[in-house]
Amino acid sequence: MSAHTSILDNILEPLSQSRVELLAAFKSVSDEYFNTSPVGTVQKDVFEDWSICEIVWYVGALDDVSRLRINDLAAGREARTGQTSRRPEHVSNVKVMLVWLNQSRAALLSSISRIAKNQLQGEPLLFKENLSQYEIILDEIIATENMSTRRVLDLVEMFRDE
């Protein structure tokens, strides 16, 4: 196995696992409470107030902005620091959101697959953890996806108990 393959595997395995876990949690979600917030008045910047729809949209949107950041790095540009996109109104049911999740992850994986071997090996290491910018971006996705999975499961349980 080449060093390039090993580095990519180390990046892709946890990324794949976090998505598998989110999709497993998402299977038990119904349209009935998909857009329901656990609180009466929603503060858009408070994760705990978000509906399952908003949580899952954010995961896909993070894939999307991360894809753009990876493309920037691969092209030798400074990675953008943009916000995630706003959810269009038509993306408001489980079936459509599942399509969004699959599309956003496929685009991200396509960008990752185009990272050249020399880019992965030559990427300057940042911070004391010696992580490359690519690893930092992907670790953010994994952490967000894991946190979102736990929150979706909590909300499913809460709505089931009502």
- Report how far residue 74's alpha carbon sits from residue 95's, in angstroms, rounded to the nearest whole number: 33
In terms of Cβ atoms closer than 10 Å to its own Cβ (0-12, 13-18, 19+), residue 108 is: buried
60-111 pLDDT per residue, tens: 999 999 999 989 888 888 888 877 888 888 888 999 999 999 999 999 999 9
Q: Could you tell me the pTM of the whole model? A: 0.85
Residue with tokens 């995961």: 59
Nearest to 135 by CA among 2, 24, 33, 9: 9
- Which of 35-39, 120-124, 145-149, 157-161 has the largest mean confidence? 145-149
Number of structural domains, the chain?
A: 1
- Among residues of the chain, what percentage have pLDDT more than 90? 46
Given a cut of 50, whether residue 32 has pLDDT beyond it is yes
In terms of Cβ atoms closer than 10 Å to its own Cβ (0-12, 13-18, 19+), residue 120 is: buried
Range of the domain at 106: 3-161
Amino acid making up residue 35: N
- Report how far residue 107's alpha carbon sits from residue 31's, in angstroms, rounded to the nearest whole number: 26
- Residue 123: per-residue pLDDT: 57
- Residue 116: per-residue pLDDT: 64
CATH of the domain at 156: 1.20.120.450
Across-strand partners of 126? Answer: 131
